[in-house]
């Protein structure tokens, strides 16, 4: 038996006593308690009051540490209601029920064999291919893939995805990364790459996206699978991502469209709205037509607020937005739908839906122009990405826009191992801060320190801006703690409840920092100011689960995005697509729009 004042049970439980075993008992120690001074009858009368007091304490005492709830939507089944396409979709009837090869897979089980892929392609009108900009970083490639999936979906075609993408940087020696992913010299892409990028490392697309979830909702094949379907060797896959007529087998037909004819001097929409039919309810007015023309920019666009103000003047309180759209049609305008970046168009963020007004004669429908093409392969040539809205087109209805939103938020999943490890890291950070809310920052440096149009500055100056945002974030979290939660305006979302009962962060709490800064002196400076970096949080088990891709900076960035998205308050970089990816995840998980800012 232990004689140090501790009794150890068989289970190893440590039961401390207020004295050493074998020593004289302290005078104040007695087997009698204060409660035993009362008579048994009086004790029973006191019991209800004690119970009420305990209930009040349990009700009002703040939970600390907080309930560590999983993020809603983290493990979405590919055919769950939240991810199911509401408007039919490939492999679905008009009522949303799965049919065709996907229905058989749901019964038979198993994965996507070549036989099933061939059957999926046969259910569409042929292939849709793009010139993939593989010289861009992963997040921009992801945006292009999202747009390509949408373009193929509207035409009911099977999108041909690149079998691999390229990571720009390696966390270890170049020889190590090259032995896993293969290496490509920058000369293959010429001037397209930043000067700091010397070599590229090939990454399978399946390491960056969960292709099974995408295939549950959209018709896509990898280029390697396309080549198998055409009985062509895999060696023909272009290393730059640019399609070639050599990839079209004999007997097949191909139709091409270049960027200018895609949307050069026109407004590309998914489908044209129904043609205008005369409506005797509304009369034409030359004065109204002149006012609308004043608000029309470049002969194409008008902000909804301006058009509404013109056509609703004098109409009375019963005049609706639907009425306004009918009046606008009288003057040759149609309403189109997209997303507003709120000064952050670089992010391709889908959390802020918006509608504009457009001159109908300047609109061209993607389906109307090319939906009936008999070509085996429809080829969109050139660069169609820069300075374009999410989806690379406008949408003619809110439903079409929301369907694209669902694709981005609920179907374009990161691999499951990324989400699992990010969830563990979330728990570790909560433990580090004592169960309180924790904050996260994306500090983009790297090539941004060499770009004139991005103000970054010295590490000290950069930290000063970030620190001010952290102070503002802590104050906001205190203010919002007991207020109703809000969400982004996206479909099928519920407010995130994982911070319920948690205290706001303290001024000296550590925060998670995702950065591409690699200078040891600068990193030490940031750690001295309470920053926790990804390598401070990963265990050997995490790295084993993530596998060899974790040595690639682009893959590591995927993990950092998933962690940034979980923070109680997020500070991003306005010009960075990495921040945009984290924002889209926050929108999908029901985070409050007020809990983010840009440094």
For 351-406, how does the pLDDT look when each residue is reduced to its tens digit (9 = 90+)? 999 999 999 999 999 999 999 999 999 999 998 888 889 999 999 999 999 999 99
For residues 521 and 547, membership in a common domain is answered with: yes
- Does some domain include residue 383? yes
Residue 66 has pLDDT above 50, yes or no: no
> 449 — alpha (psi -120 to 50), left (phi > 0) or beta?
alpha
User: At how many degrees (to 10) do helices 321-330 and 304-312 cross?
Assistant: 90
| Cα-based torsion angle of the residue sequence 565, 569, 572, 577 in order, rounded to the nearest 10 degrees | 20
For residues 293 and 425, membership in a common domain is answered with: no
Which two structure tokens, joined as six digits, stand for 482? 């007991």
pLDDT at residue 14, as a whole number: 39
pLDDT at residue 107, as a whole number: 72
* Phi, psi of 174, deg, nearest 5: -60, -35
SS3 492: coil
- Does some domain include residue 72? no
* Phi, psi of 374, deg, nearest 5: -85, 0
For residues 260 and 202, membership in a common domain is answered with: yes
Q: What is the DSSP letter of 411?
A: I
Collect all residues with Cβ–Cβ distance below 8 Å to 421 and sequence separation of at least 6. Answer: 538, 542, 545, 546, 559
User: At how many degrees (to 10) do helices 553-564 and 138-154 cross?
Assistant: 80
For residues 452 and 567, membership in a common domain is answered with: yes
- Does some domain include residue 86? no
The residue that leads in pLDDT, 82 or 144, is 144
For residues 254 and 180, membership in a common domain is answered with: yes
For residues 223 and 311, membership in a common domain is answered with: no
SS3 456: coil
Collect all residues with Cβ–Cβ distance below 8 Å to 181 and sequence separation of at least 6. Answer: 167, 201, 202, 203, 548, 549, 552
When pLDDT is cut at 50, 70 and 90, the band that residue 200 belongs to is confident
For residues 528 and 421, membership in a common domain is answered with: yes
Residue-wise DSSP of 148-195: HHHHHHHTT-EEEE-SEEEE--BSS-HHHHHHHH-EEEGGGTGGGS-T
Cβ-in-10-Å burial (0-12, 13-18, 19+) of 390 comes to buried
The residue that leads in pLDDT, 127 or 346, is 127
- Does some domain include residue 379? yes
CB 15 within 8 A of CB 21: no
Residue 17 has pLDDT above 50, yes or no: no
Q: What is the mean pLDDT of residues 488-500?
A: 93
Q: What is the DSSP letter of 407?
A: I
- Does some domain include residue 460? yes
- Does some domain include residue 22? yes
Residue that has been written with the tokens 């396409």 in this structure:
85
pLDDT at residue 9, as a whole number: 37
Average per-residue pLDDT for the chain: 84
For residues 184 and 286, membership in a common domain is answered with: no
Whether this prediction's pTM lies above 0.85 is answered by no
For residues 353 and 490, membership in a common domain is answered with: no
Range with the lowest mean pLDDT among 128-142, 211-225, 443-457, 484-498?
443-457
For residues 124 and 203, membership in a common domain is answered with: yes
List pLDDT tens digits, range 208-264: 999 999 999 999 999 999 999 999 999 999 999 999 999 999 999 999 999 999 998
Q: How many structural domains are present in the chain?
A: 4
When pLDDT is cut at 50, 70 and 90, the band that residue 343 belongs to is low
- Does some domain include residue 233? yes
- The CATH number of the domain holding residue 428 is 3.40.50
Burial 76-91 (b: 16+ CB within 10 A, else e): bebeeebbbbeeebbb
Residue 71 has pLDDT above 80, yes or no: no
For residues 262 and 287, membership in a common domain is answered with: no
For residues 346 and 445, membership in a common domain is answered with: no
Residue 136 has pLDDT above 80, yes or no: yes
Q: What sections of 357-488 are H helices per DSSP?
A: 366-370, 398-406, 416-432, 459-480
Side-by-side strand order, sheet with 511-515? 531-532, 511-515, 439-443, 569-572, 596-598
- Nearest of 396, 348, 384 to residue 261 by alpha carbon: 384
Collect all residues with Cβ–Cβ distance below 8 Å to 504 and sequence separation of at least 6. Answer: 436, 437, 474, 477, 478, 481, 568
- Does some domain include residue 95? no
Give the structural domain span for 47. 6-60
Residue that has been written with the tokens 């590919």 in this structure:
78
Side-by-side strand order, sheet with 333-339? 301-303, 353-359, 333-339
Rg (CA), the chain: 30
């Amino acid at each position: 038996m232990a004689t140090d004042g501790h009794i150890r049970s068989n289970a190893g439980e440590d039961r401390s006593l207020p004295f050493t075993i074998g020593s004289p008992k302290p005078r104040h120690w007695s087997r009698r308690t204060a409660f035993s001074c009362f008579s048994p009858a009086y004790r029973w009368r006191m019991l209800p009051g004690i119970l009420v007091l305990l209930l009040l304490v349990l009700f009002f005492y703040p939970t600390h540490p907080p309930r560590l709830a999983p993020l809603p939507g983290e493990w979405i089944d590919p055919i769950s209601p939240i991810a199911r396409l509401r408007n039919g979709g490939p492999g679905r009837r008009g009522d949303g029920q799965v049919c065709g090869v996907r229905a058989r897979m749901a019964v038979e089980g198993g994965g996507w064999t070549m036989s099933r892929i061939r059957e999926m392609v046969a259910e569409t009108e042929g292939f849709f291919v793009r010139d993939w900009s593989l010289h861009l970083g992963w997040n921009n490639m992801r945006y292009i893939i999202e747009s390509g999936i949408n373009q193929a979906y509207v035409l009911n075609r099977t999108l041909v995805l690149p079998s691999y993408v390229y990571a720009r940087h390696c966390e270890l020696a170049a020889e190590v990364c090259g032995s896993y992913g293969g290496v490509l010299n920058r000369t293959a892409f010429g001037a397209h790459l930043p000067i700091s990028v010397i070599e590229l490392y090939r990454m399978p697309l399946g390491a960056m996206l969960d292709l099974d979830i995408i295939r549950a909702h959209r018709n896509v094949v990898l280029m390697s699978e396309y080549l198998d379907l055409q009985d062509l060797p895999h060696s023909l896959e272009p290393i730059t991502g640019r399609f070639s007529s050599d990839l079209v087998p004999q007997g097949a037909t191909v139709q091409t469209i270049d960027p200018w004819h895609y949307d050069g001097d026109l407004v590309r929409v998914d489908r044209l709205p129904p043609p205008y039919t005369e409506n005797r309810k509304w009369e034409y007015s030359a004065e109204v037509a002149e006012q609308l023309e004043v608000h029309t920019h470049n002969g194409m666009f008008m902000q909804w607020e301006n058009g509404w103000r013109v056509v609703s003047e004098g109409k009375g309180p019963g005049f609706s937005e639907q009425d306004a759209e009918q009046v606008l049609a009288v003057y040759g305008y149609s309403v189109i739908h997209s997303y507003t970046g709120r000064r952050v168009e670089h992010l391709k963020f889908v959390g802020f839906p918006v509608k504009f007004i457009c001159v109908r004669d300047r609109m061209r429908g993607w389906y109307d122009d090319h939906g009936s093409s008999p070509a085996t392969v429809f080829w969109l040539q050139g660069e169609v990405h820069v300075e374009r809205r999410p989806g690379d087109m406008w949408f003619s209805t809110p439903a079409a826009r929301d369907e694209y939103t669902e694709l981005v938020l609920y179907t374009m999943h990161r691999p499951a191992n990324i989400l699992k490890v990010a969830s563990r890291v979330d728990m570790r950070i909560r433990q580090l801060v004592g169960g309180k809310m924790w904050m996260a920052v994306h500090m983009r440096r790297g090539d941004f320190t060499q770009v004139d149009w991005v103000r970054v500055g010295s590490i000290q100056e950069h930290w000063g801006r970030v620190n001010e945002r952290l102070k503002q974030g802590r104050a906001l979290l205190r203010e919002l703690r007991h207020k109703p939660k809000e969400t982004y305006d996206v479909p099928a979302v519920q407010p995130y409840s994982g911070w319920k009962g948690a205290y706001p962060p303290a001024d000296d709490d550590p925060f998670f920092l995702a950065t591409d800064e690699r200078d040891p002196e600068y990193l030490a400076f940031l750690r001295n100011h309470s920053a926790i970096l990804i390598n401070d949080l990963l265990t050997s088990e995490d790295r084993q689960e993530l596998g060899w891709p974790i040595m690639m900076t682009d893959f590591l960035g995927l993990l950092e995005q998933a962690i940034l998205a979980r923070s109680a308050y997020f500070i991003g970089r306005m010009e960075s697509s990495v921040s945009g990816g984290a924002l889209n995840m926050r929108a999908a998980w029901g985070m409050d729009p007020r809990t983010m800012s840009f440094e």
